[in-house]
Amino acid sequence: MVCPVTLAALREMYETLQLALGVAKLPQIVFVSIDPERDTLQRLNEYISAFHPRFIGARADRQETESLMRQLRVVSMKMQMEDDAGRYSFDHSSDIFVFNPAGQLQAYLTYPHQAKQLVKDYQSILTVSADLT
Protein backbone atom coordinates (compact mmCIF):
# COMPACT_ATOMS: atom_id res chain seq x y z
CA MET A 1 0.00 0.00 0.00
CA VAL A 2 1.98 2.83 -1.38
CA CYS A 3 1.96 6.61 -1.56
CA PRO A 4 3.18 8.74 -4.50
CA VAL A 5 6.59 9.35 -2.89
CA THR A 6 7.21 5.62 -2.56
CA LEU A 7 5.91 4.94 -6.08
CA ALA A 8 8.38 7.48 -7.46
CA ALA A 9 11.24 5.73 -5.62
CA LEU A 10 10.00 2.37 -6.93
CA ARG A 11 9.94 3.73 -10.49
CA GLU A 12 13.55 4.90 -10.19
CA MET A 13 14.56 1.56 -8.65
CA TYR A 14 12.76 -0.33 -11.42
CA GLU A 15 14.43 1.64 -14.20
CA THR A 16 17.86 1.16 -12.61
CA LEU A 17 17.29 -2.58 -12.20
CA GLN A 18 16.05 -2.90 -15.77
CA LEU A 19 19.39 -1.57 -17.03
CA ALA A 20 21.38 -3.76 -14.63
CA LEU A 21 19.41 -7.02 -14.73
CA GLY A 22 17.18 -6.97 -17.79
CA VAL A 23 13.42 -7.42 -17.80
CA ALA A 24 13.40 -11.11 -16.78
CA LYS A 25 14.61 -10.47 -13.22
CA LEU A 26 12.51 -7.40 -12.51
CA PRO A 27 10.00 -7.53 -9.67
CA GLN A 28 6.30 -7.12 -10.41
CA ILE A 29 5.26 -3.94 -8.62
CA VAL A 30 1.69 -4.20 -7.30
CA PHE A 31 -0.04 -1.32 -5.55
CA VAL A 32 -2.86 -2.48 -3.26
CA SER A 33 -5.57 0.08 -2.57
CA ILE A 34 -6.59 0.68 1.03
CA ASP A 35 -9.72 2.53 -0.17
CA PRO A 36 -11.83 0.14 -2.25
CA GLU A 37 -14.89 2.37 -1.99
CA ARG A 38 -13.18 5.17 -3.91
CA ASP A 39 -10.59 3.28 -5.97
CA THR A 40 -12.16 1.50 -8.91
CA LEU A 41 -9.78 -0.80 -10.77
CA GLN A 42 -9.78 1.61 -13.73
CA ARG A 43 -8.98 4.62 -11.54
CA LEU A 44 -6.31 2.68 -9.69
CA ASN A 45 -4.56 1.47 -12.84
CA GLU A 46 -4.65 4.94 -14.41
CA TYR A 47 -2.93 6.27 -11.28
CA ILE A 48 -0.36 3.46 -11.11
CA SER A 49 0.50 3.46 -14.82
CA ALA A 50 1.42 7.16 -14.54
CA PHE A 51 4.42 6.00 -12.51
CA HIS A 52 5.38 3.10 -14.78
CA PRO A 53 3.40 1.17 -17.41
CA ARG A 54 4.45 -2.21 -15.95
CA PHE A 55 3.16 -1.41 -12.44
CA ILE A 56 -0.31 -2.75 -11.67
CA GLY A 57 -3.03 -1.92 -9.19
CA ALA A 58 -5.10 -4.34 -7.14
CA ARG A 59 -8.16 -3.91 -4.98
CA ALA A 60 -10.57 -6.04 -3.02
CA ASP A 61 -13.73 -5.38 -1.07
CA ARG A 62 -13.51 -3.63 2.32
CA GLN A 63 -13.52 -6.87 4.35
CA GLU A 64 -10.74 -8.49 2.31
CA THR A 65 -8.71 -5.27 2.35
CA GLU A 66 -8.94 -5.00 6.13
CA SER A 67 -8.01 -8.67 6.49
CA LEU A 68 -4.89 -8.19 4.36
CA MET A 69 -3.98 -5.05 6.27
CA ARG A 70 -4.23 -6.94 9.58
CA GLN A 71 -2.10 -9.82 8.26
CA LEU A 72 0.62 -7.43 7.07
CA ARG A 73 0.23 -5.07 10.05
CA VAL A 74 -0.55 -2.10 7.82
CA VAL A 75 -2.12 0.81 9.65
CA SER A 76 -4.26 3.57 8.19
CA MET A 77 -6.57 6.31 9.36
CA LYS A 78 -9.22 8.04 7.30
CA MET A 79 -8.84 11.81 7.61
CA GLN A 80 -11.75 14.12 6.73
CA MET A 81 -10.76 17.34 4.94
CA GLU A 82 -11.64 20.53 6.76
CA ASP A 83 -13.67 21.96 3.85
CA ASP A 84 -16.90 20.08 4.73
CA ALA A 85 -17.22 18.83 1.15
CA GLY A 86 -17.03 15.19 2.24
CA ARG A 87 -13.51 14.83 0.89
CA TYR A 88 -11.00 12.68 2.72
CA SER A 89 -7.56 11.15 2.52
CA PHE A 90 -5.78 8.33 4.33
CA ASP A 91 -2.75 8.54 6.54
CA HIS A 92 -1.07 5.16 6.27
CA SER A 93 2.11 3.21 6.80
CA SER A 94 4.38 3.17 3.76
CA ASP A 95 6.13 -0.15 3.93
CA ILE A 96 7.00 -2.33 0.95
CA PHE A 97 6.36 -6.06 1.11
CA VAL A 98 8.41 -8.34 -1.13
CA PHE A 99 6.86 -11.70 -1.94
CA ASN A 100 8.61 -14.54 -3.73
CA PRO A 101 7.03 -16.31 -6.74
CA ALA A 102 5.36 -18.81 -4.36
CA GLY A 103 3.52 -15.96 -2.65
CA GLN A 104 5.55 -16.10 0.56
CA LEU A 105 6.63 -12.90 2.26
CA GLN A 106 10.36 -12.63 1.67
CA ALA A 107 11.22 -9.12 2.85
CA TYR A 108 9.70 -6.11 4.56
CA LEU A 109 11.18 -2.74 3.60
CA THR A 110 10.41 0.13 5.93
CA TYR A 111 10.01 3.81 5.17
CA PRO A 112 11.74 6.06 4.10
CA HIS A 113 12.36 4.57 0.66
CA GLN A 114 15.23 5.77 -1.49
CA ALA A 115 15.76 4.30 -4.94
CA LYS A 116 19.47 3.51 -4.47
CA GLN A 117 18.76 1.60 -1.26
CA LEU A 118 15.80 -0.22 -2.86
CA VAL A 119 18.12 -1.37 -5.68
CA LYS A 120 20.61 -2.74 -3.13
CA ASP A 121 17.83 -4.37 -1.11
CA TYR A 122 16.34 -6.07 -4.17
CA GLN A 123 19.73 -7.31 -5.37
CA SER A 124 20.37 -8.73 -1.87
CA ILE A 125 17.00 -10.48 -1.95
CA LEU A 126 17.88 -12.03 -5.33
CA THR A 127 21.25 -13.21 -3.97
CA VAL A 128 19.69 -14.78 -0.88
CA SER A 129 16.98 -16.43 -3.00
CA ALA A 130 19.59 -17.89 -5.34
CA ASP A 131 21.56 -19.23 -2.38
CA LEU A 132 18.45 -20.99 -1.03
CA THR A 133 17.74 -22.86 -4.26
Go through the domains of the chain in sequence order and give each one's CATH number: 4-132 (3.40.30.10)
**Predicted confidence (pLDDT) at residue 46 exceeds the cutoff of 60:** yes
Q: Using CA atoms, how far apart are residues 79 and 87, in angstroms rounded to an integer? A: 9
92 labeled binding residue:
yes
What stretches of 22-94 show up as alpha helix (H) in DSSP? 41-49, 62-72
Average pLDDT of the residues in 87-108: 85
**Predicted confidence (pLDDT) at residue 120 exceeds the cutoff of 90:** yes
Is the peptide bond between 53 and the residue preceding it cis, with omega within 30 degrees of 0? no
**Predicted confidence (pLDDT) at residue 1 exceeds the cutoff of 80:** no
Q: Using CA atoms, how far apart are residues 110 and 5, in angstroms rounded to an integer? A: 13
3 labeled binding residue:
yes
